[in-house]
Every structure is written in C-alpha cells, then in structure tokens.
Amino acid sequence: MTVREGLGAAATFLAAVAIVGALVHFIVILVIPIVATRDAYARLADLGPVGATIALARPAPTERRFPYADPALASAFCRFDLSAGPVRVKAPVGRAGFASLSFHTRRGAVFYALTDKAATHGLMEAIVVTPSQLRALIAHDDEDNPSQDLRIVSATNEGFVVMRAFSELPSLYAAAAAQAESLSCASEPAPK
C-alpha cells in the first residue's frame, strides 16, 4: 500500500466516522423530547389544574423552572384537555406594546400562534379542537350565517396555551402582568 492509498483510506474512514457521528447526534436531538419526563407540560402541571389561568413568576437570573426568559415579558398559561370538548381561549389586548398567544401540544411543540395584530374588538379569541370536533362543528355550521370563530386544530388532546405581554418599561410590568393574567381557557360542550 502506498502512502497515497493510506491517506485516501484514512480520509474515507474519518469521513465515515463524521457521518455516523452526525447521524447519532441528529437522532439523539430528535429522541430527547419524546423520552423527557420533565418537559414543559409536566413543569406546568405542577403549578395548577387544567383550565386554570396561572401567572408565571417574573423572569429572574435565579429562575430555574423556565430559564432564559425575557424579563420584559409577563407570561401566564393555561393547560387544556380536549377529551371533553373544544376549548375557547380568550385574551383581551391591553395597553402593552405587544401581546401574543402560543398554542402548544402535550410535548411542547408550538402548533399555532397569534399576536395582538390578529385581535378583533380588543380580543384575541380562538377555539382549540381535535380533527373530529372540527368536523362536527363544520357539520353544524349555518350556511347563511357562517361562524366567525378562529378554529385551531390540535394534534393532541392535551396541551397548553401561553399568553405573553410586553412591558416597554419596568414600571409598566404590572399592567403587562395583569393583561397576561386575563387569559381564559374555558371548555365548551362537544358538538353532537
């Protein structure tokens, strides 16, 4: 074997090792959220029951439950369970410079988001449904008077909604926190 052939074999071996290492890294990144026991939903479940709006503590450097949060954003959340029927989510838009709703699956993946720019009459409002509940709602729609509801389909029965309100100045944080805490998640009867 010549030196050139030896270098070619070594380069091929190193390339194969790098490819296998990248594949293992990629697979581990994809598997971690599936096997994690302390995901976002589990950490939120410790704070309160399904359907209740719960304000999150103001972000601080010592915060361990949700590290690296923006201290200018006041946050609140509510968990939902669609097994009994759709959930109507309402959040009034206040004086804060920015407000948003993000809808998360049981595993924490965001499946929909709204900002205050989507608000109508000072309110961000949506109905979270399963695919079968959506079909039932559509079947009950009146053709002459169609529903104006924003219907958001969740891939999982359980999940959570996070409301965030921006505080332009530290002195305005209380108003942003009050706006975030005005989030409501209420179950509605399942359509028949």
pLDDT in tens, 149-185: 889 999 889 889 999 998 888 888 888 888 888 999 9
Phi, psi of 7 (to 5 degrees): -65, -40
101/157 Cα distance (integer angstroms): 18
pLDDT in tens, 51-95: 889 888 887 777 766 767 788 888 899 999 898 889 999 998 876
CA-wise closest residue to 133 among 117, 99, 113, 156: 156
User: What's the pLDDT score for residue 192?
Assistant: 67
**Which H or E element spans position 105?**
strand 99-105
78: helix, coil or strand?
A: strand
Q: Tell me which CATH code domain 40-187 carries.
A: 2.60.40
Question: What number of other Cβ atoms are within 10 A of residue 118's Cβ?
Answer: 14
Q: Enumerate the domain spans of the chain.
A: 1-35, 40-187
pTM for this predicted structure: 0.78
62 touches 96 (CB < 8 A): no
pLDDT in tens, 86-140: 999 999 887 657 888 999 988 888 899 998 888 888 888 999 999 988 888 888 8
User: What's the pLDDT score for residue 163?
Assistant: 92
Burial 26-48 (b: 16+ CB within 10 A, else e): eeeeeeeeeeeeebbbeebeeee
